[in-house]
C-alpha cells in the first residue's frame, strides 16, 4: 500500500476514489471554480500542446485539458483512482505508473503535478521521480507542481517535503526554476503553506 493509499483510506474510507471524484462534482455544482490548475496550464502553454498529468487521480484536470484542446495523458499509481478516471472519460489515455520509475517512451511540452503529488511520493523517491519527470519533458518544456508545505495544506499525516529538497532534486534532474506562486491563479509566492512551482527543462 502506498503512502497515498494509506492516508486516503484513513481520512476518507475504503471508497476514497469515488468520494474524491464526487467532492469536485459537488463543488462545481455549487458554482465553485475547480479548474484553476488547467487555467494555469493554459497561461503557460497554448493548445494543442502535449501535457502529462502526472498523478492524475480521478482525472478532473486531464478531462478539462482535453476539453481545452490539449493532447493529454493521465498517469497515476493508484488503480482505483484510474478506474474513476476511465469511467468518467473512457476516450482519454490513462496509464498506471509509479512516478519514480515511469517510462512512457514519449515526451511532453508540459508535465503537471497537482494535488500534493510531490509530498505523497514514496519515501526517498523524490530524486528518482524528478529524473523521470525531466525525462518525459521536451528540452525547454515545463514541469509545474502544486503542493502543501505544512500540515494545514497536506492530507492526514502526510510528511512535509521541504521546498529546498524539491529545488535540489529538480536541479539535479536538469530542471531550472522559472516561477514560484502561492496559488494556481498566479498570486505571488508569499512564503506561505502552499506553493506552485514552474521549472523548465534545460535545452
Cis peptide before 30 (omega within 30 of 0): no
Separation CA 51–CA 176 (nearest Å): 19
Residue 81 host element (H or E): helix 79-88
* Chain position carrying cell 523524490: 126
Neighbours of 129 (CB within 10 A): 24
The CATH number of 3-201 is 3.40.50.150
Separation CA 197–CA 179 (nearest Å): 6
* Chain position carrying cell 512551482: 197
Q: What is the pLDDT along the chain (203 residues), one digit of tens a residue?
A: 999 999 999 999 999 999 989 999 899 899 998 999 999 999 999 999 999 999 999 999 999 999 999 999 999 999 999 999 999 999 999 999 999 999 999 999 999 999 899 999 999 999 999 999 999 999 999 999 999 999 999 999 999 999 999 999 999 999 999 999 999 999 999 999 999 999 999 97
pTM score of the predicted model: 0.96
Tell me how far CA of residue 112 lies from CA of 25, 26, 44, 153, in angstroms.
21, 24, 11, 19
* Number of Cα atoms under 13 Å in the Cβ half of residue 113: 30
Amino acid at each position: 500500500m502506498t503512502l497515498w493509499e494509506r492516508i486516503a483510506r484513513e481520512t476518507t474510507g475504503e471508497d476514497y476514489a469515488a468520494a474524491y471524484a464526487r467532492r469536485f462534482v459537488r463543488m462545481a455544482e455549487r458554482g465553485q471554480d475547480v479548474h484553476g490548475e488547467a487555467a494555469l496550464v493554459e497561461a503557460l502553454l497554448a493548445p494543442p500542446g502535449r501535457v502529462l498529468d502526472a498523478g492524475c487521480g480521478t482525472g478532473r484536470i486531464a478531462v478539462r485539458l482535453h476539453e481545452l484542446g490539449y493532447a493529454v495523458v493521465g498517469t497515476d499509481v493508484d488503480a482505483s483512482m484510474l478506474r474513476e478516471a476511465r469511467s468518467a472519460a473512457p476516450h482519454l489515455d490513462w496509464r498506471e505508473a509509479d512516478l519514480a520509475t515511469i517510462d512512457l517512451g514519449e515526451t511532453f511540452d508540459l508535465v503537471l503535478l497537482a494535488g500534493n503529488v510531490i509530498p505523497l511520493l514514496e519515501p526517498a523517491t523524490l530524486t528518482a521521480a524528478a529524473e523521470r519527470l525531466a525525462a518525459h519533458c521536451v528540452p525547454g518544456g515545463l514541469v509545474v507542481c502544486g503542493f502543501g508545505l505544512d500540515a494545514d495544506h497536506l492530507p492526514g499525516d502526510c510528511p512535509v517535503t521541504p521546498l529546498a529538497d524539491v529545488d535540489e532534486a529538480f536541479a539535479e534532474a536538469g530542471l531550472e526554476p522559472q516561477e514560484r506562486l502561492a496559488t494556481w491563479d498566479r498570486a505571488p509566492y508569499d512564503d506561505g503553506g502552499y506553493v506552485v512551482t514552474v521549472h523548465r527543462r534545460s535545452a
